[in-house]
Amino acid sequence: ECDTIVIAGMGGENIAQILAGAPWTADGRHTLLLQPQSRAEALRRFLAEHGYAIAREALVRDRGFLYPVIEAGAGEMHLTLGRQWAGADLLYDPLGDRYIIEKIIQLQAAAAGSNRASAPEARERGDYARAVITELLQMREEWRHANCPGN
């Protein structure tokens, strides 16, 4: 009976679980407006793997925190690791630079923790974090070139 579904104010993993329980949301007749409070990368990955495509994404600031707002619907998309973590299309978002920096800092802390551990799984998590950081640094440069002429 509706054409737009809003799911907001919870973690990206919880939003993904809700969508997994409602596969009819990927039938092409619904627009999804999703606003994860955390783990947005998990939600973006879920969307890409389950027949959804992100049409638009924007950042909002609330009480000093940045949150993505994602418009999605049925479709196919491929997201690099960097786009999973820092947004599918935030090249011209005025808050994009700050958001990318926050993700880099978060992943640097994770990589540092993994470096101190001796388990092979920890090293793999550290390698993953470093791979994402590399992509995020490249995305930040792209953002700077698109938004700061002369830099």
Last residue of a domain, one of 45, 79, 113: 79
Q: How confident is the model at residue 142 (pLDDT cuts 50, 70, 90)?
A: very high
Identify whether residues 61 and 84 lie together within a single domain. Answer: no
pLDDT at 151: 61
Identify whether residues 151 and 86 lie together within a single domain. Answer: yes
Last residue of a domain, one of 79, 97, 113: 79
pLDDT at 81: 95
Identify whether residues 1 and 55 lie together within a single domain. Answer: yes
Q: What range defines the domain where residue 100 resides? A: 80-151
pLDDT at 114: 82
101 has a pLDDT exceeding 80: yes
Last residue of a domain, one of 22, 57, 79: 79
Give tens-digit pLDDT for 48-87.
999 999 999 999 999 999 999 999 999 999 999 999 999 9
Identify whether residues 69 and 84 lie together within a single domain. Answer: no
Compute the residue count for the chain: 151
Here the CATH number for the domain that contains residue 75 is 3.40.50.150
Could you write out the DSSP letters of every residue in 8-27? EEE-HHHHHHHHHT-GGGGS
Mean per-residue pLDDT, 127-140: 96
6 has a pLDDT exceeding 70: yes
Could you write out the DSSP letters of every residue in 33-75? EEEESS-HHHHHHHHHHTTEEEEEEEEEEETTEEEEEEEEEE-
pLDDT at 113: 84
Task: Look over the chain and give the mean of its residue pLDDT values, rounded to a whole number.
Answer: 94
Instruction: Confirm whether pTM is higher than 0.95.
Output: no
Identify whether residues 67 and 95 lie together within a single domain. Answer: no
